[in-house]
Structure 1
Amino acid sequence: MSLQLSDEFARFLADDVNLNKTRIGTLETRVETIERFIESSTWTPKIREFSRQGSWAHKTIIKPPGNRGFDADLLVMVEPEPGWSAADYVEKLYEPFRASGTYREMVSRKTRCVVVTYAGDFSLDVVPCVVGRQTYFGKEICNRYEDAYEGTDGKGYAEWWDGRCRYASDDSLREAVRLLKYLRDIKGTFSAKSVLLTTMVGERVNAFDSVLGTLPDAVTTLKVVVGRLDDHLKQNPTMPDVRNPAWPEESFTRHWDADKYANFRAKIATYRSWIDDAFDEPDRNESIRKWRRVFGEAFAAQTLMEEARAIRGTMATRAAVPVVGDAVALVRAAGREVLSRIPATLPWVKKIPWHMAPTLTVNVRADVYNARVGGRRLGPLQSGEIVSKGRELLLSAVNNLGNPFPTDYDVRWRVVNTDEEAARQVSNLRGGFYKSEAGHGQRWEATLYRGPHWVEALLIRRRDKVCVGRSERFFVVVE
């Protein structure tokens, strides 16, 4: 049975993926203000209605990565204005914004729209859409550079997408698309416009999914649709023409080319294998690690920090008597043997990626310095000994005679932090593998965070990249 980590995904969607309700509320308020501004401006076309478009309307809008703002689209549906060309609708809409003291420094133009930018928050594309110029129901947006009309049907597309979403339980399909868009943005390894990505996903579901219940939640839906998308891409080695299901004259692949498609095809295959691996993993900690490979360090970050803070409680179960104080006080009172109680398979501890064939003994030797450059050696450090914060440790991997290994081998170091101070930011917990940067088989590490931490040395044979030796955990307790 797959371990879906439903609570983790619910928190991840709420905290990191979904655009929060406050920002959506701000968007709605400002859009209403802009609608009133346009209606009372000198722009003369008769307005039929305003229509939300794109990810905002499709409910797949996500929180932008970093400090970037998000984009939203507003169509202004208007009747044809006698004597105007396509370019006039955009150019003349731009004029009242430029004349406004409020919007003058916020407004710009793109090919088909006027853009109002709220710095650090969002940009609103205001898109004139002419209705009934050639046929009563025909809708056309306006390309100001080519002075040409381009057919579209945003409302029809939204209705098509809503229909597709009804094949999945609740908001599962929308949430799966948000997760896929987050993956696109956080990895930055492929490019696909949101409407193209949404369409390719929407085309992979059908009424049988509703009957059979194959899309019951966001995580399962993500696995299913990415798998089907990968299968579809494998069947199409050359770029297919993806069109607007509601307006087949509109191609969504017009901004793609063969190279972008080939890269997208390859990356989806990779991410499909990662998602399947994470979804099928029965061990909770390993499943978290695998999902973090997919979605990055934000996934389950709160859980990792909570577990890091709980290390003291885990260690305390080995103490013979109750101890007042933190993990360092516990080690001082109960002895370094309590450190063995710390689990070696914490969620942020990465799995060893090399093939294991241990035949050689590897030990860790540590020396304490007061500075990394030009510092004075203060003495050796034994595993589990308490050391002051602000020191530099020179770690060396040695054999059972205390000698370094030949240059036929590389030494990689797994460095793991725990406890309250390191847990204040999930990236401080580390858990990955690092090169020997201080010389052959040697690495510097600083004692930055109070609490118990550990390192391991792994001996990698260069000719075949096999791990032929691994040290015991070497504990460093920082006070």
Structure 2
Amino acid sequence: MKHLAEFNTFLEREVNLNNTRIRTLSDRVETIENFLWRSDWGQIIKRFSSQGSWAHKTIIKPPGENGFDADLLMFVDPVPGWTANDYILGLRGLFLESKTYKDIVGLKNRCVTLNYAGDFELDVVPCVVERPGRIYPYEVCNRTDERFEPTDSERYTEWFLHANNLVGSDHLIHAMRLIKYLRDTKTTFSCKSVLLNTLVASQISEADTHFRPSYFPDFPTAFRTLISRLDQYLQDRPNLHKVTNPVLQIEDFNRHWDQDKYENFRAMIHKYRQWTDEAYVETDEKQSVKKWRWIFGDEFARGADILTEEVGGSLVPIRNFNVQRFTDTVQAIKLVGLSVLSLVRRDLPWVQPPPFVVSKQGIPISIKATVHLQENGSETGSVASGQVLPADRHIRFEAVAGTGVAFTGKDLDVQWQVVNTDRSAGHAKALRGGFYPSKPRSVRWERTEYRGIHWVEAFLIRKRTGACVGRSDRFFVVIE
């Protein structure tokens, strides 16, 4: 089923960057442009232009408390004798001399950054226009390699927005926001935004203006069409291949990819395509919402009372167990012991399947836990799986290797699945079942709140490929 209203609500509430933050960005960019026009560079500046997600209208709300990124292209006349490095360092020098910007200025390879902490980071990119002896009219500055690189971001933006117009109703823009949301919140694949935009928009042709009623009549159908076409494109190409700028063939967009990353991306898009098809064709409303939640998480259709009947039949999650002897599962644990935990079902309706490609040879991973009166406070003791705890405590879960040492390598990340069960959590609509990031690295904090048997699992993800290379056993938390 399509769930048109729920898709629109989800996009507006969870995915789109709110208008207030966009206005703040626009206001600050206007101030920055005025500052640069009045500086010594004013005589060589030709104009400014937004680029990237800001220009393509695919900018989304960042996950957690992170700020979002925006790019500002500054077109300048060539300065005789200047190297690529001179443009970047010269621009940084302007900001360092300003009381307003000196404390927020940073440096990247092709741009200068202004970091408004917790709000956004703006990349100011010098673009040299018609440098003598050049072949291409527009060039950005690679200071590390000390060279000028051809670019044409404005023509690329025109190409992307033309593809959006072919399908109509901004369906391409909205679909790209959803796919970027999956990338940023699920962290199951990595792909630069410009590469992702190019791969998806390239699946649209001029003929699609005639097929809108079939393939793009509404947003959910458009999303399904585009994810299906992308999957077919990737399945036809098992090996990493060059993806170039459609308006500037010399520019290679997949320079940050390798075969492992590509294979993971290809496998995950195939999964998302399968799950999308299943959710779309499901005729039972409640089952369809559940399947869409597998893709987008618990926030999709939030507030819809679609699990009431499912929950009612599954609140005591123990197979073949005579629960009539006990008032609930907590009492069963206390009277019978931890053997009850082996009977707790994994296949509860609200438990999402792992959205990772799981490696055949896993790295050993387990969970250590301590209890605290408040988050980040002093610990009051260690916690074993299945130990009965009172409510209103905070538990610090830490994923550790077989040696008992936490995973601290920069190439590894730990994602956590948190599952609540039983009537208290069900009535509060807090059954969860989704995946959550570590914060800080390898650590997850949770609060004991709802009476019942609950659990967490740790999934070890290799950042370079997005593959799951280790999965812990379930760590049970029993709250009385």
Is the TM-score greater than 0.5? yes
Equivalent residues in 2 for 1:53-92 (5 A)? Answer: 53-92=51-90
Q: In the alignment, which residue of structure 1 is the partner of 2:331?
A: 394
Residue number in structure 2 paired with 1:132: 130
Distance across 1 between alignment mates of 2:30 and 2:90: 20
1:363 maps to 2:296? no
1:45–1:247 Cα change, 3 Å: farther
Question: Partner letter of residue 231 of structure 1?
Answer: Q
| Aligned-partner residue type, residue 46 of structure 2 | R
Which structure has the larger Rg? 1
Residue 166 of structure 2 aligns with which residue?
Answer: 167
Q: 1:344 aligned to 307, 310, 327, which one?
A: 310
Partner of 2:281 in structure 1?
280
TM-score (structure 1 length as normaliser): 0.70
State the Cα distance separating 1:30 from its structure 2 match.
0.4
Equivalent positions of 1:86-101 (< 5 A) are 86-101=84-99
Question: Closer, same or farther in 2 for the Cα pair 1:418/1:46, shift >3 Å?
Answer: farther
CA distance 1:349–1:285, shift in 2 (3 Å)? farther
- Structure 1 distance, partners of 2:45, 2:121, is 22
Match of 1:41 among 22, 39, 42: 39
Residue 361 (structure 1) shift: 5.0
Tell me which residue corresponds to 2:180.
Answer: 181
Shift of 1:344: 3.0
The aligned residue for residue 429 of structure 1 is: 431
Q: How much does 1:396 deviate?
A: 5.4
Q: Distance in 1 between matches of 2:78 and 2:15?
A: 40
Per-residue displacement from partner, 1:130-158 (whole Å, max 9, x unpaired)?
01114597100001111110000001100
TM-score (norm 2): 0.70
TM-superposed CA distance for 1:418, in Å, is: 6.2
Check the 8 A contact 2:425/2:431 in 1, yes or no.
no
> What secondary structure, in the 3-state scheme, does the structure 2 residue paired with 1:303 have?
coil
In structure 2, the CA distance between the partners of 1:420 and 1:53, relative to structure 1 (3 Å rule), is same
The CA distance in 1 between the partners of 2:241 and 2:38, in whole Å, is 45
**CA RMSD in angstroms, aligned pairs only:** 3.3
Structure 1 moving runs of 4+ over 6 Å? 402-407, 418-421
Compared with structure 1, are the counterparts of its residues 364 and 130 closer, same or farther at alpha carbon in structure 2 (3 Å cutoff)? Answer: same
The separation in 2 between residues aligned to 1:65 and 1:292, in whole angstroms, is 17
Give the structure 2 partner of residue 193 of structure 1. Answer: 192
Counterpart residue identity of residue 362, structure 1: F
Aligned length: 367
Taking a change above 3 Å as real, the CA distance of residues 404 and 166 of structure 1, as seen in their structure-2 partners, is: closer
Q: Which amino acid aligns with 2:332?
A: L
Q: How does 1:430-449 map to 2 (within 5 A)?
A: 430=432, 448=450
- TM-superposition CA deviations, 1:437-469 (whole Å, max 9, x none): xxxxxxxxx8837xxx999xxxxxxxxxxxxxx
User: 1:52 Cα deviation (Å)?
Assistant: 0.3
Contact 1:186 1:296 in 2 (8 A): no
Instruction: State the partner residue of 1:300.
Output: 301
CA distance in 2, matches of 1:163, 1:118: 32
Give 1:205's aligned amino acid. Answer: I
Q: How does 1:168-317 map to 2 (within 5 A)?
A: 168-213=167-212, 214-304=215-305
Partner in structure 1 of residue 117 of structure 2: 119
Where does structure 1 lack aligned partners over 5 or more consecutive residues? 309-341, 353-359, 367-379, 384-391, 433-445, 456-477
Q: Are residue 4 (structure 1) and residue 2 (structure 2) matched?
A: yes
Contact kept in structure 2, 1:140 and 1:149, CA below 8 Å: yes
Q: Give the conservation status (yes or no) of the 8 Å contact 1:230–1:272.
A: yes
Percent sequence identity is: 44
Q: 1:422 to 1:144 in 2, by over 3 A?
A: farther
CA contact (8 A) 1:76 1:126 kept: yes
In the alignment, the residues of structure 2 paired with residue 65 and residue 120 of structure 1 have an alpha-carbon distance, to the nearest angstrom, of 11
Task: Indicate if the aligned counterparts of 1:107 and 1:114 stay in contact, CA closer than 8 A.
Answer: yes
- 2:298–2:432 contact (8 Å) kept in structure 1: no
Contact 2:425 2:450 (8 Å CA) reproduced: no
